[in-house]
Chains A and B, each alone.
Chain A
Amino acid sequence: MPNNTSDPKSGQVIIPVILIILILLPFGYSLVNRVIAQGSDRSEAFLERPDAKYENCIRDTEYMRYHHWELLRTVRVEVVRYGKRGDIRLDSCMECHPNRERFCNRCHEAVSLTPDCFGCHYYPEIFQPSSIESVTEKTELIPVPDTTVVDSILTK
């Protein structure tokens, strides 16, 4: 047979090429995703602003936007390990931000984070889907911060 299969030379080239492609595949995937995300109109993503009566958050907006998880983690350690039960509770966040879908998840989805707080902690809206409409009517919406900003802060 003239065209006998394994020419040893071509095998030597093909296998490394396949391996390199496999290794590069995830990088390419995320690159393409990022380009698409930047090109698309992000005005769809927004956070829900709480009622006017809740003017005072425990920290300023800028801090909460990027460091709320550090705050929550610190409080968690203090409560669970040392029994220091202060005013900062996940429940008190929910008083002003009653809708998880329109508050927590907006950003978390944009940056592909899935914190599992609410597997165990109660978020009332899960059981009262009707409250979603009433909340959106009276509240103003603010845009989600650009993910690149979040990235740069998280990697600082």
Chain B
Amino acid sequence: MDRRDFIKVAGGTVLAGTSCTYAFRFLTSSSMSDAGVDSTLAKRKWGMVINLDKCKEDCTACLEACREENNVYHDEDDRWDINWIRKVKIEGKIGSATTEKTMILLCNHCDNPPCAQVCPVQATYKREDGIVIVDHHRCIGCRYCMIACPYNARFFNFKDEEHWINPDRPKRTHGVAESCHLCAHRLDAGKMPACVEACEKIGCGALSVGDFNDPESNVSKLIADNSVKRIREDLGTEPKVYYIGL
């Protein structure tokens, strides 16, 4: 073998070796992420349907229920205030006629969540059942997700909450981002989110949460029977909060 051939063979071996290593790593990592934990979450896909026609204009039952359930920080000053779920007024103009509507906004639990894509430490992620959630143990407070979210659903804890309204649930300290997690702890326990329960209690029933994978579930039926809209569908985020009467 002359020198030239030797170099060719050696180079080829090194190249093959490196590519094999990468291929192997890729294969193992992808198979591990699927089979790592035997999770029962994947069967479901949680989402919400909001019937704006049933929502009363100055009712705040769901907003208060959310605050009380999840110890969400409240401040008189809007700059520090955190609202996992909030109400806004939107104005529509068609020709000379203006229409006003109250609207409920919360995290849309996007199927393709930009907030999870930008998170540098994978603190924000989509659970297998479609809930987008923040692991506050991991969040470094960089606030990328707040910029990435097109719905302004993310909030930052600028201050420590002092009042511990619901001792069964953790609160957050200064320096982490947060948003609605669809009361994942309640859904895991087979209960409905606090806002849904509160809305039902006062007899409105404007909010419903259910499993999109099940065609017989309350939300699937509502979507099938009504004309529904999602906000900013053009962005490709595939939100899982549907609005009736928008």
Contact = CB atoms under 8 A, between A and B. Distances in A.
A127 to B, nearest CB: 8
A120 B173 contact: yes
Contact of B137 (A76, A82, A84, A124): A76
B245 to A, nearest CB: 32
Given A120-B136, A122-B164, A83 B39 contact: yes
A121 B129 CA distance: 25
Contacts of B136: 120
A64 to B, nearest CB: 21
Contact of A83 (B167, B168, B172, B188): B188
B204 interface: no
B191 interface: no
A120 B172 contact: yes
B230 to A, nearest CB: 25
B185 interface: yes
Contact of B41 (A80, A82, A91, A122): A82
B246 to A, nearest CB: 31
A23 to B, nearest CB: 30
A67 interface: no
Contacts of A83: 39, 41, 127, 129, 184, 188
A82 B189 contact: no
B129 A81 contact: no
Contacts of A121: 170
Nearest to B160: A119
Given A76-B137, A80-B133, A80-B137, A85 B189 contact: yes
Chain A interface bracket (under 10, 10 to 19, 20 to 34, 35 or more): 10 to 19
A119 B128 CA distance: 28
Q: Which of A76, A91, A119 neighbours the largest number of chain B CB atoms within 10 Å of its CB? A: A119
A122 B128 CA distance: 28
A132 B41 CA distance: 42
Interface string A77-119: 0101111110000010000000000000000000000001001
B125 interface: yes
Contacts of B188: 83, 85
Nearest to B175: A119
Contact of A124 (B39, B167, B185): B167
A81 B135 contact: yes
Interface string B112-149: 00000000000001011100010111000000000000
A116 B137 CA distance: 10
B37 interface: yes
B82 to A, nearest CB: 14
Interface in A57-76: 76
B171 A80 contact: no
A73 B107 CA distance: 28
A85 B184 CA distance: 11
B185 A85 contact: yes
Contact of B171 (A78, A85, A91, A120): A120
Given A82-B41, A120-B173, A122-B168, 12 more contacts: A76-B137, A81-B37, A81-B127, A81-B135, A82-B128, A83-B39, A83-B184, A83-B188, A120-B172, A122-B164, A124-B167, A127-B164
29 contacts: A76-B137, A80-B133, A80-B135, A80-B137, A81-B37, A81-B125, A82-B37, A82-B41, A82-B127, A82-B128, A83-B41, A83-B127, A83-B129, A84-B39, A85-B185, A85-B188, A85-B189, A116-B173, A119-B160, A119-B173, A120-B136, A120-B170, A120-B171, A120-B172, A120-B173, A122-B164, A122-B168, A122-B170, A124-B167
Interface of A: 76, 78, 80-85, 91, 116, 119-122, 124, 127
Interface of B: 37, 39, 41, 125, 127-129, 133, 135-137, 160, 164, 167-168, 170-173, 184-185, 188-189
